[in-house]
Amino acid sequence: MGDGSPAMGDGPLIEDFGQRIGRAMGWPPMAGRLAGVLMLSPAPMTLSELQAALGASKGSASEMTRLLITNGTVERVKVPGVRQAGYVWRDDAWSGCLQHQLHQTEELFELARNAQERGPHLPEAQRARLRDMHTYYDFMVRELRRLLDEYQRLHNG
């Protein structure tokens, strides 16, 4: 597959990704480092290449690629002439990340709606909390959808 790994001088930048993006996204530092490696890689990388670039176990590299796929930033690709799957930073990774956040928020909005429907028998203080939860997630879903649309317009030019 060729060496898709970033240049050796990118080590400090990749460590910075591990600390900062990992912490900001609530990911383990290894997921942040893997994100940095793939973002800076000029070509798809196999799990073995990621494992070597990160000094990680196969299980850890596999788990972190799954996490980044779930979060919408990385995708698994078939690379012609290579038996192992390749992993790449998605061209629309930030849209994918926002889509993932929207999906999570929609799930919580559904919970809020369901809880509010099932809670009329609760005391007023608890009903008020459920109303606040519903109002919050209703607002967040609408705004995340708007932000996603706006970002996609900017990204797609």
Give the predicted TM-score (pTM) of the model: 0.81
Residue 133's Cβ-count burial label (10 Å; 0-12, 13-18, 19+) is middle
pLDDT of residue 3: 55
pLDDT of residue 47: 95
Residues 10-36: tens digit of each pLDDT? 788 888 888 898 889 889 999 999 999
Residues 39-87: tens digit of each pLDDT? 999 999 999 999 999 999 999 999 999 999 999 999 999 988 888 999 9
pLDDT of residue 8 exceeding 50, the answer is: no
- What number is the average pLDDT over the span 89-100? 94
Residues 101-148: tens digit of each pLDDT? 999 999 999 999 999 999 999 999 999 999 999 999 999 999 999 999
Got the DSSP string for 98-147? Answer: HHHHHHHHHHHHHHHHHHHHH-TTS-HHHHHHHHHHHHHHHHHHHHHHHH
- What number is the average pLDDT over the span 84-109? 95
